[in-house]
Amino acid sequence: MRHRFGPAIATRLDIQPGVPQQQWVWHTGEDVITAIKTDKETFLLSYRTSRLDPSFL
């Protein structure tokens, strides 16, 4: 993903105690792609059309 869309916005969260979660978000200009990884789960990818007007960026 990084090779195709560039660096992502990344964050690390603790939503459930003891289960840290990492999230990466790419905004391609037309779409938003989110990848989520926990220490206990495999990657979850989410893809949706962006509602953000690129002229606001």
Q: Read off the pLDDT of residues 17-50 as tens digits, 9 standing for 90 and up.
A: 777 788 888 888 788 888 888 877 788 888 888 7
pTM of the entire structure? 0.65
Answer yes or no: is pLDDT of 12 > 70. Answer: yes
pLDDT confidence tier of residue 5, bands split at 50, 70 and 90? confident
CATH code given to domain 2-50:
2.20.25
- Cα distance between residue 51 and residue 32, in whole Å: 9
Helix, strand or coil for residue 26? strand
> Which residue type sits at 13?
L
Which tops the pLDDT comparison, 7 or 34?
34
Identify the helix (H) or strand (E) that includes residue 43: none
Residue ranges of alpha helices (H) inside the chain are: 2-5
Sorted by where each begins, the domain ranges of the chain are 2-50
